[in-house]
Amino acid sequence: MTVTLAYITFISLAHVGTQLIDAIFSEAVRVAVAHWRAQLTLAQVISQLNQPVELGQALLPAIEQELNKYNCSCSDVKDYVWAQPFLRLRAVFEPGDLPDTPIDFCPVPMAEGTAIAQVTAIACLAAIGSDSVSYGSENQGDLFVNLVVFPPGRGVFTKKSTEKMSGHTDGVTFPIRGYRDPLNDRIAPSPDFVCLSALRNPKEVPTTVMPLDELMKYLSDEHIEELQKPQYLIGSQLTFRDGMVDILGEELEVDDAQLLYAMHGKWWIRFSHKTTQIANLGETSAQQAMDALKEACAHCAVPLALEPGDIVLVNNRTALHGRSDPGEEYGGQTRWLLRTYGLETSDIDEAQRHAGSPSMLYP
């Protein structure tokens, strides 16, 4: 059977197309990365991870070639991915041999499984027109970080790592793409995509995704109007705070922020349960709108129990994401995801990058 994008779209309307496009894209990336890997030593693979943008571009022709076998292209996949709140790619890489699960965000220990997971994530993002990026203010700017449970003794980081995580967008104090920070023009946009690669998940702890289109169904016209007004305060998320102080001299906070944006015929969002509040305590309508948004999250969470070898691309514009309670066990063979970010960077100024890094954005 010849698979065309029109057919994929038709099947999608019948509620099985997502599995089809997922399978095609997963296979294309998996084959392209496997062929590339077979020509290199592990040391060479690790070395190429230091140039993620070049690496992604180098893998694109092979991915395109594989997609063409199904009369599909990277452009088709990009359009499809941007129409979804998330895309789950099952068994898109082979985890292989892994060390014990780390007990900190960084560094990511280098082994066959972790290296291939990183290469595959970079390839997936490149195929949809995004560069793999980090921010210097978070975890020293490491491109990939471990999402794991921390051992006792790390204070708030230990506590947070063991708890359920409410819906949020990452880099919430950074402007959405197309906007600038009103006080500091150097600040780069927040990521378009949050890319999670599963290495271990023995207890099948779900990542949760809350599609914005579904959230909107629970909001009244009045709520939607209020969420578009610049009447909210947004504070830095925990993992960014120390880095913000080091780079900016203080935590980054956004005054008079709006949470909901009409962009390109769709709704985009920036929001964090933990760090967003109303600017004026007397604005009850603003509070009611935010409360309605939080309540909607409870109704719209899609659980994704990622399996080793899976990657999920969460759209950081059109979805919130979180996590169920992972428990308190750490290290050993416990849950281990890698996270990186994807961003379309054609409009990024050099001043919005850290000097000397191909992928680290400011701050």
Residues in CB range of 46: below 8 A, 6 or more apart: 110, 115
Domain CATH number, residue 343: 3.60.130.10
- Residue 228 CB burial class (10 angstroms; 0-12, 13-18, ≥19): middle
Residues in CB range of 13: below 8 A, 6 or more apart: none
CB 122 within 8 A of CB 351: no
280: number of CA atoms within 13 Å, CB side? 10
Eight-state DSSP code of residue 85 = S
CA distance 146 to 151: 14
Residues in CB range of 16: below 8 A, 6 or more apart: none
Per-residue pLDDT of the chain in tens (363 residues, 90 and over written 9): 344 444 444 333 333 355 689 999 999 999 999 999 999 999 999 999 999 999 999 999 999 999 999 999 999 999 999 999 999 999 999 999 999 999 999 999 999 999 999 999 999 999 999 999 999 999 999 999 999 999 999 999 999 999 999 999 999 999 999 999 999 999 999 999 999 999 999 999 999 999 999 999 999 999 999 999 999 999 999 999 999 999 999 999 999 999 999 999 999 999 999 999 999 988 899 999 999 999 999 999 999 999 999 999 999 999 999 999 999 999 999 999 999 999 999 999 999 999 999 999 999
DSSP H helices, the chain, are: 5-13, 17-37, 42-48, 52-68, 74-82, 112-127, 156-161, 212-216, 221-227, 238-248, 284-300
CA distances from 65 to 24, 72, 88 (A): 12, 9, 21
Candidates 295, 294, 238; CA nearest to 271 is 294
Verdict on whether the full-model pTM lies above 0.85: yes
Q: What is the dihedral of CA 280, 286, 290, 295, to 10 degrees?
A: 130
Domain that holds residue 119: 5-361
Q: Does residue 363 have a cis peptide bond before it, meaning omega lies within 30 degrees of 0? A: yes
Give the pLDDT of residue 282.
Answer: 87
Question: In the structure encoding, which two tokens stand for residue 31, read together?
Answer: 């084959």
Candidates 330, 328, 276, 329; CA nearest to 159 is 328
CA distances from 31 to 60, 92, 258, 317 (A): 12, 9, 43, 29
* Long-range CB contact pairs, 305-308, < 8 A, 24+: 305/201, 305/204, 305/205, 305/206, 305/207, 306/88, 306/196, 306/198, 306/201, 306/207, 306/337, 307/90, 307/91, 307/198, 307/201, 308/95, 308/198, 308/199, 308/200, 308/201
CA distance 253 to 230: 14
DSSP H helices, 95-219, are: 112-127, 156-161, 212-216
Q: Which residues face 86 on adjacent strands?
A: 314
How do residues 341-350 score in pLDDT, each as one tens digit?
999 999 999 9
Candidates 150, 173, 154; CA nearest to 163 is 150
CA distance 74 to 76: 5
Q: Which residues face 72 on adjacent strands?
A: none
Which amino acid type is present at position 349?
D
Domain count across the chain = 1
Question: In the structure encoding, which two tokens stand for residue 124, read together?
Answer: 């997936």
Helices 74-82 & 5-13, crossing angle to 10 degrees? 20
